[in-house]
């Protein structure tokens, strides 16, 4: 993005371009972080779980950037538009409400991504808290869907991937008691 | 988000010494930074979608380049650079990305080109575009253009008033509306292979709107032949309405007694009305219309009623509830 900005390749409407790109990156990273567990369940790979935290935190960073661009775009510094517009937007427009809610849900997850947090919260509570990522990802996809004017191909792809990822978790959960049962119960995240 | 598998064992299995915890920390920090950099950079590259290059905006051949004083309807606001006006376009027949039209416009052949004129007119006919163009002296019109998505440009069109054409066609007493139909040809319009919208694109105006001196038929831009991505060879320009009313690549003009069913109002009737007058007080259901970004500027500006043409056109809608007839 910085490269493009330097070379003018962000096009005629750079704010919109950056807005879209940070949003898409947030979703892509969130879905990648949600892919780690299914990879372990299906193929027994453990390495994706090691980069899961990085993926999740990076998703949060992009979500925050996405929100900052929105604040800038709505003229937070400009008294003519500013805070009132943003509050109206969040309350009145489901599209913005969904996106904002998703961002809010990611905040506690990012705050409890330190090593000590699991210990402090207790494993069960920490796991329960981090299940919020499911809601956040679903809201994120909905936000993207509503934000598109007509061509829903891209949001549809994200929705499809999310559904597959959820389905794998659900199937494994259902299967587990029936099969060997020697697997330790693990957190779903 | 740490691996829950490993977590419960950790306190017991690991004797924490300053050195080992520092090593651990460095290791995990390194892993995190490396992953972040790799993934961020990789995804960034994958999702990059640079705008169309300058060469796809190669200027068309000049028609006239004469400087003339501003006319009564011209704005003196700075004109949007040709490079941006020709590479940032909504033209779903070429694709839904703003850069698609400039990239794909080469697939459209604008000569030979005929326009069919029919319906409630005394002189129905099919006319060649060059003949049609020769009926009227070409004029420059520097208009603001406001897209329903919240961005705007200033466009120096070249063409003739729509009213001149309508009067020449001699509408019958039954004519109340004008319907425009764009070219339907998936070979020339790759975007028409997907049913994003009902093809062909159809737009319309009430007859009095069409006869208003601001309503314009453009055949050129910046004194040059209209580029394909901007609607060649013939497009409608209605500066007080949202840009989607400005149908491009027109092949048919029909005068009708009934209000035409227009493409966007069929696609999402709650979001895009037949009138589509620029109105900062009537929001799109999903975004505010109070402000807009002029292409080339970073911050937003307030949107003006009827896109700044209220003095000229507001009387066309006196007595109408513009919240209902949006």
Residues 204-263 of B with CB under 8 A from A: none
- How high is the pLDDT of residue A79? 72
- How high is the pLDDT of residue A181? 44
- How high is the pLDDT of residue B260? 98
- Determine the residue of chain B that is closest to A122 in CA distance: B8
Q: Are B292 and B284 in contact (CB under 8 A)?
A: no
Mean pLDDT, rounded, of chain A: 86
Check CB contact under 8 Å for A55 and B295: no
Check CB contact under 8 Å for A151 and B196: yes
Residues 161-180 of B with CB under 8 A from A: none
Report angle CA B103, B105, B109 to the nearest 5 degrees: 155
Residues 262-301 of B with CB under 8 A from A: 267-268, 285-288, 290-291, 293, 295-296, 298-300
pLDDT, tens digit (0-9, with 9 covering 90-100), for B192-227: 999 899 999 999 999 999 999 999 999 999 989 999
pLDDT, tens digit (0-9, with 9 covering 90-100), for A3-51: 665 555 677 888 888 999 999 999 999 999 999 999 998 898 888 888 9
- How high is the pLDDT of residue A109? 94
The alpha carbon of residue A72 is apart from the nearest alpha carbon of chain B, in Å, by 8
- How high is the pLDDT of residue B52? 46
Place B66 in a pLDDT band, splitting at 50, 70 and 90.
low
The alpha carbon of residue B5 is apart from the nearest alpha carbon of chain A, in Å, by 7
pLDDT, tens digit (0-9, with 9 covering 90-100), for B122-141: 999 999 999 999 999 999 99
Structure tokens at B318: 């006196």
pLDDT, tens digit (0-9, with 9 covering 90-100), for B137-163: 999 999 999 999 999 999 999 999 999
The answer, yes or no, to whether residue B50 has pLDDT greater than 60, is no
B197 has a chain A CB within 8 A of its CB: yes
pLDDT, tens digit (0-9, with 9 covering 90-100), for A84-140: 888 888 998 899 999 999 999 999 999 998 888 888 899 899 999 999 999 999 999
Place B265 in a pLDDT band, splitting at 50, 70 and 90.
very high
- How high is the pLDDT of residue B10? 39
- How high is the pLDDT of residue B30? 61
Mean pLDDT, rounded, of chain B: 86
More confident residue, B325 or A7: B325
Whole-model pTM: value is 0.81
The answer, yes or no, to whether residue B187 has pLDDT greater than 80, is yes
Give the one of B40, B51, B85 whose C-beta lies nearest to A58's C-beta.
B40
Least confident of A50-64, A78-92, B6-20: B6-20
Helices (H), chain B: 10-13, 18-47, 82-85, 100-104, 129-134, 162-169, 207-211, 263-267, 310-313
- How many CB pairs below 8 A link A and B? 134
What ipTM describes this predicted complex?
0.78
A chain contacts of residue B23, beta-carbon cutoff 8 Å: none
Q: Is the dihedral of CA B262, B263, B266, B269 positive or negative?
A: negative
- How high is the pLDDT of residue B191? 95
Check CB contact under 8 Å for A11 and B88: yes
The answer, yes or no, to whether residue B12 has pLDDT greater than 70, is no
The full DSSP string for A145-169 is HHH-SS--HHHHHHHHHHHHHHHHH
Give the one of A10, A29, A130 whose C-beta lies nearest to B39's C-beta.
A29
The answer, yes or no, to whether residue B304 has pLDDT greater than 80, is yes
Q: Are B242 and B147 in contact (CB under 8 A)?
A: yes
Strand B250-256 with B177-182, pairing? antiparallel
Check CB contact under 8 Å for B299 and A187: no
**How far is the C-alpha of B218 from the C-alpha of B247, rounded, in Å?**
11
Residues 78-97 of A with CB under 8 A from B: 78, 80-81, 85, 88-89, 93, 95
- How high is the pLDDT of residue A116? 86
The backbone region for B9, taken as left when phi is positive above 0, alpha when psi lies in -120 to 50, beta otherwise, is alpha
The half-sphere exposure of A82 on its side-chain side, counting CA atoms within 13 A, is: 6
Comparing CA positions, the residue from B135, B214, B139 lying closest to residue B169 is B135
The answer, yes or no, to whether residue A153 has pLDDT greater than 90, is no
- How high is the pLDDT of residue A131? 92
The backbone region for B167, taken as left when phi is positive above 0, alpha when psi lies in -120 to 50, beta otherwise, is alpha
pLDDT, tens digit (0-9, with 9 covering 90-100), for B168-183: 999 999 999 999 999 9
């Amino acid at each position: 993005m910085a490269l493009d900005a330097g070379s003018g390749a962000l096009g005629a409407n750079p704010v919109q371009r950056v807005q879209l790109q940070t949003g898409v990156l947030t979703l892509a990273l969130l879905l990648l972080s949600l892919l780690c567990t299914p990879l372990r369940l299906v193929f027994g790979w453990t390495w994706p779980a090691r980069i899961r935290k990085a993926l999740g935190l990076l998703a949060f960073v992009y979500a925050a950037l996405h929100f900052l661009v929105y604040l800038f775009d709505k003229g937070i510094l400009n008294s003519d538009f500013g805070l009132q517009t943003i509050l109206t937007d969040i309350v009145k427009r489901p599209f913005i409400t969904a996106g904002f809610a998703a961002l809010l849900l990611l905040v506690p997850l990012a705050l409890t991504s330190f090593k000590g947090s699991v210990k402090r919260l207790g494993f069960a509570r920490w796991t329960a808290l981090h299940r919020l990522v499911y809601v956040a990802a679903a809201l994120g996809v909905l936000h993207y869907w509503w934000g598109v004017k007509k061509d829903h191909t891209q949001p549809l792809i994200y929705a499809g991937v999310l559904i597959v990822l959820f389905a794998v978790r659900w199937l494994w959960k259902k299967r587990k008691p029936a099969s060997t049962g020697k697997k330790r119960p693990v957190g779903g995240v | 988000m740490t691996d829950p598998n490993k977590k419960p064992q950790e306190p017991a299995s690991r004797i924490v010494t300053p050195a080992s915890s520092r090593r651990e920390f460095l290791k995990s920090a390194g892993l995190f930074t490396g992953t972040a950099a790799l993934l961020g950079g990789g995804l960034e590259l994958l999702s990059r979608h640079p705008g169309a290059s300058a060469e796809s905006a190669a200027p068309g051949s000049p028609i006239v380049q004469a400087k003339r004083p501003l006319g009564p309807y011209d704005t003196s606001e700075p004109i949007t650079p040709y490079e941006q006006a020709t590479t940032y376009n909504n033209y779903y027949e070429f694709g839904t990305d703003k850069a698609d039209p400039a990239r794909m416009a080469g697939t459209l052949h604008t000569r030979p080109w005929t326009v069919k004129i029919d319906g409630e007119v005394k002189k129905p006919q099919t006319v060649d575009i060059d003949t049609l163009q020769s009926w009227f002296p070409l004029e420059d019109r520097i208009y603001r253009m406001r897209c329903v998505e919240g961005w705007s440009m200033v466009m120096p069109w070249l063409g003739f008033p729509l009213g001149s054409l309508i009067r020449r066609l001699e509408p019958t007493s039954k004519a109340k509306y004008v319907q425009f139909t764009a070219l339907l040809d998936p070979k020339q319009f790759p975007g028409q292979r997907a049913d994003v919208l009902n093809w062909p694109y159809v737009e319309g105006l009430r007859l009095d709107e069409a006869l208003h001196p601001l309503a314009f038929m453009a055949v050129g831009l910046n004194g040059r032949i209209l580029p394909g991505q901007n609607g060649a060879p013939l497009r409608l320009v209605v500066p007080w309405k949202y840009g989607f009313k400005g149908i491009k690549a027109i092949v048919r003009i029909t005068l009708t007694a009934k209000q035409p069913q227009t493409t966007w109002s069929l696609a999402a009737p709650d979001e895009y009305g037949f009138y589509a007058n620029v109105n900062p007080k009537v929001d799109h259901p999903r975004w505010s219309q109070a402000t807009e970004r002029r292409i080339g500027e970073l911050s937003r500006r307030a949107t003006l009623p009827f896109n700044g043409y209220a003095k000229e056109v507001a009387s066309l809608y006196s007595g109408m509830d513009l919240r209902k007839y949006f």
